[in-house]
Amino acid sequence: MENQLQHTIGLVIYPDMTQLDITGPHQVFSSMPNTQVLLLWKTLEPVVSNGGLTILPTTIFDECPQLDVLCVPGGVFGAVEMMQDAQMLAFLRKQAQTAKYVTAVCTGSLILAAAGLLKGYRAACHWAFREQLTLMGVEVSNERVVVDRNRITGGGVTAGIDFALTIAAMLSGEYTAKFIELMLEYNPLPPFDVGSPEKAGSRLVQAVLNVAKPLIEASNTASQQAASSLDC
């Protein structure tokens, strides 16, 4: 392996999060050599994702060491709550002061933006929530993984694996990232190839938007409130 430095990566978790946003990256990061991966929350009580998967935190916010990588996942209404959670936002701001990379997957970028950590940066998000990033002073991109200085963001849910492999290459070298990609047999071939709005067609896109409407509206309200507090 090319780089033998010790890395500490903190994956934030919270109730009603989207578990694949964090478990995909966790699989990649835990495959890296000499890397410590922490699951961070306010307490050590079990955290239940929006799909019902229970995840155990390993470290509480108050005892979190200085991180090399801070990563925030997206979620459903839990993500909207985290956009307005003072303890969460304060923790993110504190860690961002010293972290080598400040990162997010899916709507986790909305939480980073609500903390003021993406203002003036280019970032990705789940396609249904991109417009809300612009409210908080973020330059929105439809790329699967966006790297802007020390801010790294992934698009919706499954982009977390691409995102994590990108970070693995940055921290441990391209050979290590390639080794992990092959070891995990990460060779996606979507059976229907409709995983982006550009490919899905207007009818399917609208169907998803209709189902997500209550969440989009709640997230939009939280984004507007955050934008006001950030003077965007």
Q: What are the pLDDT digits (tens) for 74-97?
A: 999 999 999 999 999 999 999 999
Longest C-alpha distance within the chain, in Å? 50
Percent of the chain with pLDDT over 90: 97
Fill in the amino acid letter for 173. G
Cβ neighbours around 85 below 10 Å, total: 18
pLDDT in tens, 123-180: 999 999 999 999 999 999 999 999 999 999 999 999 999 999 999 999 999 999 999 9
The CATH superfamily label for domain 7-229 reads: Class I glutamine amidotransferase (GATase) domain (3.40.50.880)
Mean pLDDT of the chain: 96
Task: Look up the pTM and report it.
Answer: 0.96
Q: Are 122 and 129 in contact (CB under 8 A)?
A: no
- Using N-to-C axis directions, what is the helix angle for 174-183 and 159-172, rounded to 10°? 140
- Rounded average pLDDT over 209-218: 98
- Report whether 99 contacts 69 (CB < 8 A): yes
The predicted model gives 199-212 an average pLDDT of: 98
- What are the domain boundaries of the chain? 7-229
The model's pLDDT over 119-135, given as tens digits with 9 standing for 90+, comes to 999 999 999 999 999 99
Distance CA 38, CA 27 (A): 12
- What is the per-residue pLDDT for 4? 58
| pLDDT at residue 232, rounded to an integer | 78
Where is 131: in which H helix or E strand? helix 130-135
Nearest to 151 by CA among 140, 161, 221, 24: 140
Residue 102 CA to residue 64 CA, distance in Å, equals 15
Contact yes or no for 133/79 (Cβ under 8 A): no
C-beta separation of 142 from 127 below 8 A: yes
Q: Of the candidates 147, 66, 126, which has an alpha carbon nearest to the alpha carbon of residue 99?
A: 66
Backbone angles phi, psi at 100, to 5 degrees: -70, -40
**Average pLDDT estimate for 114-122:** 98
The token pair that represents 215 in the structure block: 């969440």
Each residue's pLDDT tens digit, 28-77: 999 999 999 999 999 999 999 999 999 999 999 999 999 999 999 999 99
Q: 93: which residues sit within 8 A by CB, 6+ positions away?
A: 115, 116, 117
| Neighbouring residues of 120: CB distance < 8 A, sequence distance ≥ 6 | 137, 138, 139
Point out the residues that are catalytic.
106
Q: For residue 5, is pLDDT > 80?
A: no
pLDDT confidence tier of residue 1, bands split at 50, 70 and 90: very low
Q: What is the pLDDT, as a whole number, of residue 166?
A: 98
Query: Tokens representing 153?
Result: 């963001």
